[in-house]
Amino acid sequence: MSYEELTAHSSRLIARAWKPNMNRTLYIGDVHGCADELEAIVDKFGFVRGSDTLYQTGDIINKGPDMMRALKFVVDNGIQTVRGNHEEHLIRSMEAPPSQWSEKQKKRFARLPLEDWIYIRDIVKDWPLWRDTPHALLVHAGLEPGKTRLEDMSPEVLLSIRKWNDEPWYKQVTWPKTVVFGHWAKKGFVHRPGFIGLDSGCVYGKCLTAWCPEEDKFYEIPARREYTPVKDKTKESEVSPCKVAGDANKSIVTFDNIREKIMRGEITPANETPEEANIRKASPSISAEWAGYRL
Ligand SMILES: [Mn+2]
């Protein structure tokens, strides 16, 4: 870098650091342990500590190469996250003794010492389901169609909605400000009026995406590699039995079986509230995903 370039570069940094109206915001998509890409996107943005604000759509943990480093980076840089379904699964799983964990849970927990999981749990348990930020409403998966108050929406919907009555949820919701969300890696980057979907599948070898509202600009870091193969959710669940409370047929163990039975109306979870019945009918995948985690 020449002296002139260096001077110009430095004065830009100084200007950015000291002009109050230069404060910027960055919303970062789903990380899943992709610590290298998380660090790279914050660098590319040119994050200035103390004046810029970082947000993230949740699902920092699981799947990818280094969730501990990703989580420490979040903590060290004051990144304001929301809770993802993976953090919620961790919190709920750890409420049960290890002897009661499913095969999928055991496989996940085998990746790190239990002390590390306790460390992670103690951090993520404080993450909120949503953040109403100056530029956008931040939530992991999306909003529940037909409701206007976040407090009235089911946490399980906020954490894992994709489709509602077979249509993407965001085509059925209007919200007073832009909704920034993640979770739907197969759908990928979503950019439409009022909605920004930032899960562009970094852990699947695609890229990490972030949005800066002040610049009206998207930042992107290509994944260094495919860390996790894209698996069909139903295949994945072959080894991860989940039970529906009140299900008399104990041979039904896969997500696919449960979804089919739920759609045919053959399974009604025990003690189902009208609210839960509504979710089950509108989005069987949400009911099936959380069926094994009823408290
Ligand atoms: Mn997710």
Every domain of the chain and the residues it spans: 3-230, 235-295
Report CA(17)–ligand 1 centroid distance (Å). Answer: 34
Name residue, tokens 């079986």.
Answer: 257
CATH architecture of 3-230: 4-Layer Sandwich (3.60)
Give the predicted TM-score (pTM) of the model.
0.83
Report CA(14)–ligand 1 centroid distance (Å). Answer: 38
Q: What is the pLDDT along the chain (295 residues), one digit of tens a residue?
A: 666 666 556 655 554 554 455 899 999 999 999 999 999 999 999 999 999 999 999 999 999 999 999 999 999 999 999 999 999 999 999 998 888 888 888 888 999 999 999 999 999 999 999 999 999 999 999 999 999 999 999 999 999 999 999 999 999 999 999 999 999 999 999 999 999 999 999 999 999 999 999 999 999 999 999 998 876 443 333 333 333 344 444 454 565 666 677 667 776 666 778 888 899 889 988 988 887 675 4
Report CA(262)–ligand 1 centroid distance (Å). Answer: 22
Report CA(21)–ligand 1 centroid distance (Å). Answer: 34
User: Rounded to a whole number, what is the distance in angstroms from the first to the last CA of the chain?
Assistant: 59
Residue partners of 199: CB distance under 8 A and separation at least 6: 29, 30, 57, 59, 181, 182, 183, 184, 185, 187, 188, 189, 209
